[in-house]
């Protein structure tokens, strides 16, 4: 890994380099995605079936697009029971964590005759996109479905591309069943997102779409936003390790590579105050790369977006971490909890040398669907709040409104909205009707 002395110029250059990975920059795919979205909107099932055959080389129809109970039972029989046990342990942790996020409706009643409040209501339906193809991602299934189930969503629809055999991966399907999916459809890509957004003869529309996917899925979510809600436009994975001379270089190198293996656009950055740690981590990373199965991806990822930045002070290192606003941030320092209090921008914060990023990906409980590409400056991890909506509650008695009604009228007239003023004024007309 390249080692760079940190200063304002190098930091700005790296920030600019990282932003090139933003899915919003891939406009060359936009027209193709829009064509798919419009086709599904207009031709519904017909377009979904055609695109599935074109892109996934699988024939589906109205009789086979939805996964049946028999297929779920068959899938469960084909999954290792030890893996199911592990998933059930992870589910317990994920559910417990997200239950702590549940909000309650509230009401505030005052003696003057006012009641104000907020009503919390779960979304009626949610669509969960899960990638398919060459790999299965049961952890993504759990992380997207369980918060929706905890929030109280009644209809949780999962879509995922079918394999060459026309079936959903058994592990993915088993995870969906365990987590609480109410429907599963064998369709992926931009056509799946469009089907969830607008509805087809086979797939009723949903209110919100969540879940990761490739550039076509990300741009399709962007295209349908406004017709439905979405979680975010997710970019490539990233990790930043903030460390001093107390860190174990072998641990740090291993953690950096845990994200670099995702794809060639993944980012792995170490910011440290120790030149010696920087040197050792670079050597350990090189050794690991030669041993690991995704060597080609690792090498390209590190070449493209892998950095070891040497800072003069921990304050400079922390400022850089906040500027990058990484999806995953590990703090491996003498006083990691003290450093944590100074972190303003990060998707998930891992504290100490035994809290490595994969712990969060699979098992600890907090959600692994996190803001990427600097959006941790204003976005949060996926959670229960993503699956609810809030309604304001307002009640004023006549006795409560009377002392303030002239203030409201004055405000309305200042904005030249006479009908607004009239709405209030009418209630206090002196014609005997009050």
- Burial-class residue 231 by CB neighbours within 10 Å (0-12, 13-18, 19+): buried
User: What does 349-405 look like in DSSP terms, one character per residue?
Assistant: EEESTT--HHHHHHTSSS------TTGGGT-----GGGGEEEEEEEEE-HHHHGGGH
* 391 closest CA partner among 27, 123, 26: 123
Spatial separation of the C-alpha atoms in residues 372 and 22, rounded to whole Å: 9
* 184 closest CA partner among 245, 219, 132: 132
Spatial separation of the C-alpha atoms in residues 81 and 123, rounded to whole Å: 33
Spatial separation of the C-alpha atoms in residues 101 and 369, rounded to whole Å: 15
- Which residue in the list 328, 353, 357, 368 is annotated as catalytic? 328
In what order do the strands lie in the sheet containing 3-5? Answer: 3-5, 306-310, 267-272, 238-243, 328-332, 348-351
Spatial separation of the C-alpha atoms in residues 4 and 26, rounded to whole Å: 29
Active site residue 149: no
Active site residue 327: yes
Helix, strand, or coil here: 117?
strand
CB atoms within 10 A of CB 172: 25
Spatial separation of the C-alpha atoms in residues 56 and 53, rounded to whole Å: 6
Strands 114-122 and 388-396: antiparallel
Residues linked to residue 329 through DSSP beta bridges, in sequence order: 240, 349
- Which residue in the list 261, 327, 330, 353 is annotated as catalytic? 327
User: What does 228-288 look like in DSSP terms, one character per residue?
Assistant: BEES------EEEEEE-TTS-HHHHHHHHHHHHTS-TT-EEEEEES-HHHHHHHHHHHHHH
Spatial separation of the C-alpha atoms in residues 377 and 373, rounded to whole Å: 10
Helix, strand, or coil here: 196?
helix
Residue 126 backbone dihedrals phi, psi, to 5 degrees: -140, 140
Helix, strand, or coil here: 150?
helix
The CA-CA-CA angle for residues 389, 393, 394, to 5°, reads 155
The catalytic residues are 327-328
């Amino acid at each position: 890994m390249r080692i760079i002395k940190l200063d304002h110029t190098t930091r700005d250059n790296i920030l600019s380099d990282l932003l090139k990975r933003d899915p919003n920059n891939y406009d060359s795919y936009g027209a193709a995605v829009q064509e798919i979205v419009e086709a599904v909107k207009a031709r519904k099932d017909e377009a979904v079936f055609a695109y599935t055959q074109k892109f996934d080389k699988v024939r589906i129809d109205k009789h086979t697009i939805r996964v049946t109970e028999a297929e779920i039972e068959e899938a469960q029989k084909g999954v290792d029971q030890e893996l199911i046990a592990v998933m059930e342990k992870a589910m317990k942790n994920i559910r417990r964590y997200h239950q702590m996020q549940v909000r309650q409706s509230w009401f505030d009643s005052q003696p003057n005759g006012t009641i104000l409040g907020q009503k919390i209501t779960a979304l009626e339906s949610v669509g969960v996109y899960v990638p398919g193809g060459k790999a299965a991602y049961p952890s993504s299934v759990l992380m997207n479905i369980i918060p929706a189930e905890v929030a109280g969503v009644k209809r949780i629809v999962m879509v995922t591309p079918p394999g060459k055999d026309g079936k959903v991966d058994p592990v993915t399907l088993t995870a969906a069943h365990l987590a609480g999916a109410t429907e599963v459809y064998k369709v992926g890509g931009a056509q799946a997102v469009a089907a969830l957004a607008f509805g087809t003869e086979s797939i009723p529309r949903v209110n919100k779409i969540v879940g990761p996917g490739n550039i076509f899925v990300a741009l399709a979510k962007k295209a349908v936003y406004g017709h439905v809600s979405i979680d975010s436009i997710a970019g490539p994975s990233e990790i930043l390790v903030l460390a001093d001379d107390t860190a174990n270089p072998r641990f740090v190198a291993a953690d950096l590579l845990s994200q670099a293996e995702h794809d060639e656009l993944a980012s792995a950055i170490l910011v440290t105050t120790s030149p010696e740690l920087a040197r050792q981590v670079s050597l350990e990373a090189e050794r690991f790369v030669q041993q690991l199965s995704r060597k080609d991806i690792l090498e390209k990822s590190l070449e493209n977006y892998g950095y070891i930045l040497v800072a003069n002070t921990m304050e400079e290192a922390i400022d850089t971490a906040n500027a990058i606003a990484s999806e995953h941030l590990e703090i491996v320092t003498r006083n990691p909890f003290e450093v944590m209090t100074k972190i303003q921008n990060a998707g998930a914060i891992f504290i100490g040398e035994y809290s490595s990023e994969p712990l969060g990906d699979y098992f600890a409980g907090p959600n692994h669907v996190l803001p990427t590409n600097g959006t941790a400056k204003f976005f949060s991890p996926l959670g229960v709040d993503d699956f609810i909506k809030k309604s304001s509650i307002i009640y004023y008695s006549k006795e409560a409104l009377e002392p303030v009604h002239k203030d409201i009228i004055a405000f309305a007239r200042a904005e030249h909205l006479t009908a607004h003023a009239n709405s209030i004024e009418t209630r206090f007309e002196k014609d005997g009707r009050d």
